[in-house]
Structure 1
């Protein structure tokens, strides 16, 4: 039994029920456990726009099964399991195809890997699947359903490794905004500082350390920010200078704002 499965679909036209390719990948203990892929006759037209995106045309699906034909196989892979999709376009497409082809809805628990990526790597400029694949070093052929499913699964695997949040934790609602930033202590060496963090959550250990030292942790770099702390866990490595938060802080400094940029270890040593 896989820990979770991932599905990706390509569609023939603007109608989301027009599935013309399905890819499903099962993951167990962080590695691929099985793969399923098929072209599908959508019983619908192919638009020039969609064909430019994925390269699939009516000639490719000639003689291929319809969604009604493969519904049982898809249901067998997804039903009763955790199903990941990169955005819920695929969830909507699957539901629409079930309605159009008069098949039962598939009962599964959905997890959006876009939401996972945004929470795991909030400072990335894009959480599109091709951008995440480049960032994570995952081999990926964009708009191929099987490759997209495999890449979305790796986003979840890497997010679990990066954050320590397990699959059950990703299914739970994220921490409320009211609990995101700890209340600053009344006194301390960072009293009066408004601090943005690059690469760590506002409710995590680093945020609590800053708050205990009197600093107020803010959501992002802005005109009132006085300090940007670069977390030891920041995901950009030696390219941290290219991250949006770092570039925003540098831009404000050039405009005359007094924003200090400091590494976590240096600040801990000083505070």
Structure 2
């Protein structure tokens, strides 16, 4: 077999890989896309159809549109392994969930190829931490939210989109790539204890877009509020943090929609912006 040299692209920050499979066996890769990023920009792309040496499930074909006819005469994974390994080996490799990691590992075993040595980063985990209040962190939901062009279940487009999730998360949070590679931090400290007295005494307050133990939560607790984990039937207020990631689309978040549903059901839940609430308390207006 011909040996293909590793990618010569210099100074790649990270690469992104996405695969489509022919059937329920994860080794049945029928398309693969790889995109390299440097300084927040795409610097190379690789895509190919792959003969999976396996059957095509009608279910899978309905998802990605690839059938046996499309891969006739295309290389098998064994033939492209060195190309894929050349792009990924020794680099940070992003995948949206670890399905792609498992698929590549399975394909290496089935086709008797050496496992690829790379540092994996799950863009789903990154997205959940960067935008915790999104109702879903599926790739097509994220691209709509972020305004990224995307053709779902096309390997190259999915790889580009997952790469942009990382780029936008770095911009949004200020956490660099090295920071995202660190192990997940331990479970956050509990919410601060409500002061015995204060203008928000008796209020059960959920927060949109800020942690339960952060500065906003501390301020609310000092004002007498009990900071709760989520919007529920006993909640009396949802405070929308000034730092929340949704901007003018905050109303699409799960906590906001839950609060509106409760209000429609006749449960009094006040939805208020952080700055407005601070102004109310400063003026002595009890919410």
Q: In the alignment, does 2:77 pair up with 1:63?
A: no
Structure 2 residue aligned with 1:259: 269
2:21 equivalent among 5, 11, 14: 11
For the residue of structure 2 that corresponds to 1:37, the secondary structure is strand
Gaps (5+ residues) in structure 2? 1-10, 282-287
For the pair shown, the structure with the greater C-alpha radius of gyration is 2
Structure 1 residue aligned with 2:4: none
Structure 2 residue aligned with 1:137: 147
For the residue of structure 2 that corresponds to 1:46, the secondary structure is coil
Q: Separation in 2 of the partners of 1:51 and 1:78?
A: 27
For the residue of structure 2 that corresponds to 1:179, the secondary structure is coil
For the residue of structure 2 that corresponds to 1:38, the secondary structure is strand
Structure 1 residue aligned with 2:166: 156
C-alpha change, 1:16 and 1:177, in structure 2 (3 Å) is same
Structure 2 residue aligned with 1:234: 244
Q: Where does 1:159-178 land on structure 2 (aligned, <5 Å)?
A: 159-178=169-188
For the residue of structure 2 that corresponds to 1:27, the secondary structure is strand
1:81 equivalent among 77, 91, 94: 91
Q: Where does 1:1-271 land on structure 2 (aligned, <5 Å)?
A: 1-179=11-189, 181-185=191-195, 188-271=198-281
For the residue of structure 2 that corresponds to 1:60, the secondary structure is helix
How big is the shift at 1:178? 4.1
Contact 2:207 2:241 in 1 (8 A): yes
Q: Separation in 1 of the partners of 2:143 and 2:258?
A: 24
Q: Separation in 2 of the partners of 1:65 and 1:102?
A: 15
C-alpha change, 1:81 and 1:47, in structure 2 (3 Å) is same
C-alpha change, 1:157 and 1:60, in structure 2 (3 Å) is same
C-alpha change, 1:25 and 1:186, in structure 2 (3 Å) is farther
Aligned-residue RMSD, C-alpha: 1.9
Range 180-189 or range 3-12, more displaced = 180-189
Q: Separation in 2 of the partners of 1:176 and 1:157?
A: 24
Q: Residues 93-129 of structure 1, C-alpha deviation per residue, up to 9 Å, x if partnerless?
A: 0110010011111111111111111221122222111
Q: Residues 210-262 of structure 1, C-alpha deviation per residue, up to 9 Å, x if partnerless?
A: 34444333221012222211122333333333332122112223444332211
Range 175-184 or range 132-141, more displaced = 175-184
Q: Separation in 2 of the partners of 1:180 and 1:25?
A: 40
How big is the shift at 1:22? 0.6
Q: Separation in 2 of the partners of 1:176 and 1:117?
A: 18
For the residue of structure 2 that corresponds to 1:42, the secondary structure is coil
For the residue of structure 1 that corresponds to 2:211, the secondary structure is coil
Q: Separation in 1 of the partners of 2:33 and 2:100?
A: 11
Question: TM-score of the superposition, structure 2-length normalised?
Answer: 0.87
Q: Separation in 1 of the partners of 2:269 and 2:34?
A: 47
